[in-house]
Amino acid sequence: MARIIIQFELLKPTDDVLANHRRAIESGDMRVLGEPKIELVPNEGYVEGPDAPSEVYRLTFQVEPVR
């Protein structure tokens, strides 16, 4: 059964950032299916603070448990 993991980034993620997320997910006994979906979305409280941006990058990874 596939699941989804969502991460938020302040800056547009580079290939290195995506690879780091993939490694972290896969070290937790999950397999990433395909490439993540990257979207610029309004910051609706995902990142808080006085310098919080109005938009953030949402990374959506589809994953499944390793058997």
Q: Rounded to whole angstroms, what are the CA distances from 20 to 8, 33, 42, 48?
A: 13, 15, 24, 23
The pLDDT value given to residue 24: 94
Q: What is the mean pLDDT of the chain?
A: 93
> pLDDT digits over 41-63, tens only?
999 988 899 999 999 999 999 99
Q: Is the pLDDT of residue 1 over 70?
A: no
- The whole-number average pLDDT for the span 21-49 is 93
Q: Is the pLDDT of residue 23 over 80?
A: yes
Q: Is 23 left (phi over 0), alpha (psi -120 to 50) or beta?
A: alpha
